[in-house]
Amino acid sequence: MADDMKTPRILKDRDQQPSWGLPKADMAGFWRGRCNGMEATRCSAGFVIMPFGQTTPLHSNTAEHIIIMIEGDIEFTIEGEAFPLEPRDMLFIPAHAKYVYTNKGRATATFISVLGQVDSPPKGTYYD
């Protein structure tokens, strides 16, 4: 195990910088950002920021997900079933499930995405 996985770490808010280069983010309507997050041996977590009116392409991940809403209103559609989330709601997404999410609110939305590592590292797949 790497030495940095044996000691407590903190990632301060002021040190988190969003990356706006997520897959297909250069296409109209798919703009969202993920802040550099906390990586561990079997999981990772980070903030996702999504402006009003944006959505994601259909995608899946080899990792299990837990989503924790912080602010705003996001609707996840997983395998065709809608799951609207408001602040403090949590959602579990199974590994390999196909999903999209959309900011349904009137302002920027923020949530925490926690990925359990089914594969190391987890691999995302985006569909047309």
Domains along the sequence of the chain with CATH? 32-126 (2.60.120.10)
pLDDT tens figures, 22-51: 777 777 777 888 887 788 888 889 999 999
Q: What is the average pLDDT score of the chain?
A: 87
pLDDT exceeds 80 at position 10: yes
DSSP characters over 42-106: SEEEEEEEE-TT-B--SEEESSEEEEEEEES-EEEEETTEEEEE-TT-EEEE-TT--EEEEE-SS
Q: Taking CA 43 as the corner, what is the angle to CA 39 and CA 46, rounded to the nearest 5 degrees? A: 55
The CA dihedral of 31, 104, 110, 29, to the nearest 10 degrees, is 0
The residue that leads in pLDDT, 119 or 78, is 78
pLDDT tens figures, 84-115: 999 999 999 999 999 999 999 999 999 999 99
CA atoms within 13 A on the CB side of 34: 16
d(CA 73, CA 87): 7
